[in-house]
C-alpha cells in the first residue's frame, strides 16, 4: 500500500526581544530571496508585530522600511502623572507605538483575516491566570496529551489589540484588554517566548525559529563583555536566558516524543497493548483501543532550524529603537540566516517555482 503524502507546511516562529526585532527583518530578507515562504507564522512580543506585518503581505524590503521609521520616541514615552504613582501598574506609555503602527500602515487586517493570508498565531500571557493564550486567525488542531505543551487557543479575527497584548511587557508597558476588562494580557514571552508547540498544532512540517539571543555558542558572552557588565545591566542577561528556557523545554519534549515514536514502531500489537496496560493502567479493550489510537497519531517531528545571533545583543536594544542599530541588525540577521539556511536554498528555490 502506497504511503499517503504528508502535506508540507512551512512555519516561521519569531521570538520576542523588543528593539532587537529588527534582526527578524534580515532573516526574512534571506528567506524571501531563496523562495522560502511561510504557510504559518507564530509571533511573540516584537515577533508578533513582525509576523502580523508579514501576514499582511509586507515584503522584506517594506518591513525594513517600516523599521527604519521607528525610533524610541515613536514607540514609548515616560509617564507624566507622577502624582498618581501609587496607582501605577506600568512605567512607560505605549500610545506612540499604537499611533506609529496605524499611521505607518504596518498591518492590513482585512488581508490577515482572509483566506489569502498564512496562518497567524499571536502568543500572549493571561495576567490573572498565567496561562499561555494564543490568538489565531484560523482554527488549530486539538492538542494531544503527551505532545507539545498545550495552550489555550482562541480563534478570532486578529486586531491591533491582540498584537499589542503580545507586546505588553510586564511592569514596563501597560497590560492590554482584548474583548473585555477580564480578558487582560501581558507579553507572551512571560511564559513562552518561542512557542514551538503552536506551530506543530498548526500542522508545521518544516520549521524555522528565529531567536534574538545566542543559542548554543559557548562564547556568546566574550571575556570583554563579561568584564563590562554592571549591576543595572545584569537583569538583561538574566532575561536572555529566561526567554530561552521555555524553548529548550519544548525542544527536549519534541526529542522525547521522537524517541517514543521510533520505539513504538518496533512493537507488535500484543506488545503495544501490554504497554498501555502496564504504563497507563488500561485494563478494558475499550480503554486500550482509545489509547492505542492516540499513540498511533503521534508523528515524528523534524528538528527546527534555529537562526540566532552568535553573540549577545546589547541589553539596551530591548527597550530602545534606533535606525542605525536596526541597519546593523538587518545585516546580522541576513548573515546568520545564510549560515544556517544556505544548504537548503537550492531546494527552496526549486519548490517555489
pLDDT-derived band at 196 (thresholds 50, 70, 90) equals confident
Residue 229 has pLDDT above 80, yes or no: no
| CA Rg value for the chain | 22
Q: What are the phi and psi torsion angles at 3 (to 5°)?
A: -70, 140
DSSP-assigned letter for residue 8:
P
Residue 256 has pLDDT above 80, yes or no: yes
State the pTM of this model. 0.85
Residue 149 has a pLDDT of: 44
Q: What is the pLDDT of residues 141-190, one digit of tens each?
A: 765 544 444 468 899 999 999 999 999 988 889 989 997 767 899 988 87
pLDDT-derived band at 298 (thresholds 50, 70, 90) equals confident
Is the distance from CB of 265 to CB of 249 less than 8 angstroms? no
Burial 26-61 (b: 16+ CB within 10 A, else e): bbbbbbbebebebbbbbbbbbbbbbbbbbbbebebe
Per the model's pLDDT, the better-predicted residue between 129 and 158 turns out to be: 158
Residue 147 has a pLDDT of: 41
Least Cα distance to 326 among 60, 99, 70, 94 occurs for 70
Other Cβ atoms closer than 10 A to 271: 10
Average pLDDT of the segment spanning 316-338: 94
* Beta bridge partners of residue 154, listed in sequence order: 135
Residue 221 has pLDDT above 70, yes or no: no
Per the model's pLDDT, the better-predicted residue between 82 and 17 turns out to be: 17
Average pLDDT of the segment spanning 285-309: 88
Portion of the chain with pLDDT greater than 70, in percent: 85
Residue 209 has pLDDT above 70, yes or no: yes
Share the mean pLDDT of the chain.
85
Amino acid at each position: 500500500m502506497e504511503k499517503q503524502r504528508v502535506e508540507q507546511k512551512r512555519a516561521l516562529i519569531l521570538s520576542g526581544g523588543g528593539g532587537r526585532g529588527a534582526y527578524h527583518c534580515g532573516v526574512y530578507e534571506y528567506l524571501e530571496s531563496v523562495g522560502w515562504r511561510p504557510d504559518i507564522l507564530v509571533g511573540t512580543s516584537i515577533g508578533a508585530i513582525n509576523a502580523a506585518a508579514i501576514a499582511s503581505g509586507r515584503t522584506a524590503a517594506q518591513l525594513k522600511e517600516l523599521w527604519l521609521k521607528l525610533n524610541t520616541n515613536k514607540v514609548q514615552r515616560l509617564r507624566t502623572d507622577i502624582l498618581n504613582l501609587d496607582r501605577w501598574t506600568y512605567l512607560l506609555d505605549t500610545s506612540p507605538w499604537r499611533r506609529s503602527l496605524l499611521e505607518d500602515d504596518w498591518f492590513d487586517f482585512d488581508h490577515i483575516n482572509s483566506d489569502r493570508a498564512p496562518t497567524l498565531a499571536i502568543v500572549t500571557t493571561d495576567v490573572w491566570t498565567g496561562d499561555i493564550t494564543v490568538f489565531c486567525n484560523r482554527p488549530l488542531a486539538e492538542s494531544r496529551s503527551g505532545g507539545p505543551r498545550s495552550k489555550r487557543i482562541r480563534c478570532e479575527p486578529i486586531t491591533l489589540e491582540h498584537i499589542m497584548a503580545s507586546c505588553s511587557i510586564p511592569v514596563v508597558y501597560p497590560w492590554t484588554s482584548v474583548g473585555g476588562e477580564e480578558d487582560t494580557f501581558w507579553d507572551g514571552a512571560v511564559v513562552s517566548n518561542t512557542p514551538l508547540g503552536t506551530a506543530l498544532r498548526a500542522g508545521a512540517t518544516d520549521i524555522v525559529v528565529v531567536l534574538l539571543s545566542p543559542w548554543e555558542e559557548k562564547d556568546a558572552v566574550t571575556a570583554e563583555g563579561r568584564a563590562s557588565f554592571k549591576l543595572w545591566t545584569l537583569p538583561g542577561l538574566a532575561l536572555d536566558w529566561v526567554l530561552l528556557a521555555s524553548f529548550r523545554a519544548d525542544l527536549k519534549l519534541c526529542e522525547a516524543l521522537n524517541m517514543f515514536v521510533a520505539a513504538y514502531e518496533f512493537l507488535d500489537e500484543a506488545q503495544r497493548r501490554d504497554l498501555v496496560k502496564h504504563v497507563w493502567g488500561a485494563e478494558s479493550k475499550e480503554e486500550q483501543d482509545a489509547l492505542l489510537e492516540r499513540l498511533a497519531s503521534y508523528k515524528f517531528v523534524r528538528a527546527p532550524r534555529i537562526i540566532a545571533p552568535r553573540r549577545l545583543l546589547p541589553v539596551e536594544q530591548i527597550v530602545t529603537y534606533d535606525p542605525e542599530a536596526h541597519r546593523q541588525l538587518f545585516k546580522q540577521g541576513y548573515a546568520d540566516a545564510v549560515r544556517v539556511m544556505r544548504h537548503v536554498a537550492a531546494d527552496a528555490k526549486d519548490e517555489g517555482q
